[in-house]
Amino acid sequence: GGMQSVRQRGQSRRAELADLLTWLGEAKRPRILLGDFNMLRGTMGFYDLDEYDLVSDVYSDADGGWLPTNSDTFPLPDATRKKIGERLPIWLVPRSITLDYIFVSDAVKVLDTDVIKSDASDHWPLVGRFRL
């Protein structure tokens, strides 16, 4: 459990992302890669969590990368915040995090992105407008 479980899930995500990037091939043509990646931006490799870097080294984060232009996409449930708060001061535990991303190749121009707060899912939709 604990950090070992987090590291194992990270290893699985890295393997899946490597397969996905190989399948997609070179990012010369217009490509939009989006979804719930269950990875965090800005971990800087802490706890071996560098999945975001694997993708952002090839594709641009449509939501602005390290300085995102929108809200996070996943509101942390109170029970999750409380559990994290057992290890960190609760004021350091965010109310939401980003797990959902839109990545684009250089051939795609990002016009805008937005997060829509909705109860339709446990995640808030991240939407974008693009020009090919």
Length of the chain: 132
Q: Please give the full DSSP string across 42-66, using - where no structure is assigned.
A: S-TTGGG--HHHHHHTTSEETT-TT
Helix, strand, coil content of the chain in percent (nearest 5): 30, 20, 45
Asked if the model's pLDDT at residue 1 lies above 90, the reply is no
Instruction: Tell me what pLDDT residue 105 has.
Output: 94
Average pLDDT over residues 22-26: 89
Identify which has the larger pLDDT, 8 or 110: 110
For the cut 70, the answer to whether the pLDDT of residue 47 exceeds it is no
What confidence tier does 93 reach under pLDDT thresholds 50, 70, 90? confident
DSSP state of 86: T
Q: What pLDDT is stored for residue 4 in this prediction?
A: 79
127: pLDDT strictly greater than 90: yes
pLDDT at 9 over 80: yes
